[in-house]
Amino acid sequence: MAGELAPLAQAFFAATPELSLQALGSGVHVPSLDLAPHGIPVTHLLAEHNAELARQYLTLNQLAFGGIGVPRWVLSDLYLLPGAIGLLRCPARLLKAPARERLLLADEELAIGAACYVAPSLTPGLFVGVSLFSFLPGRGASAWVKLLTLGMVRAKRLRGITQWDNPAVRVHSRLGPMRLVGRVPGGHDYDERTFVYETDLSDEARVARAMCREEGAPSSATRIPVTDLLSLGALLDRAEAGARLELVPPGQDDGHVLVRELPPG
Looking at residue 198, its amino acid is E
Q: What is the pLDDT of residues 160-218, one digit of tens each?
A: 999 999 999 999 999 999 999 999 998 777 778 999 999 999 999 999 999 998 776 77
DSSP-based three-state secondary structure for 11: helix
> Whats the size of the chain, residue-wise?
265
27-61 tens-digit pLDDT: 999 999 999 999 999 999 999 999 999 999 999 99
For the entire predicted model, the pTM comes to: 0.94
CA gap 30, 84 in Å, rounded = 9
- Domain segments of the chain as ranges: 1-116, 156-265
Q: Which of 173, 224, 213 is nearest to 197 (CA)?
A: 173
* Tens of pLDDT, residues 130-168: 999 999 999 999 999 999 999 999 999 999 999 999 999
β 157-163/126-134 pair status: parallel
Is pLDDT above 50 for 1?
Answer: no
State pLDDT tens for residues 64-73.
Answer: 998 788 999 9
Query: Is 122 exposed, middle or buried (CB count within 10 Å of its CB: 0-12, 13-18, 19+)?
Result: exposed
Per-residue pLDDT at 110 = 96
| Predicted local distance difference test score (pLDDT) of residue 210 | 94
Residue 2 pLDDT grade (very low, low, confident, very high; cuts 50, 70, 90): very low
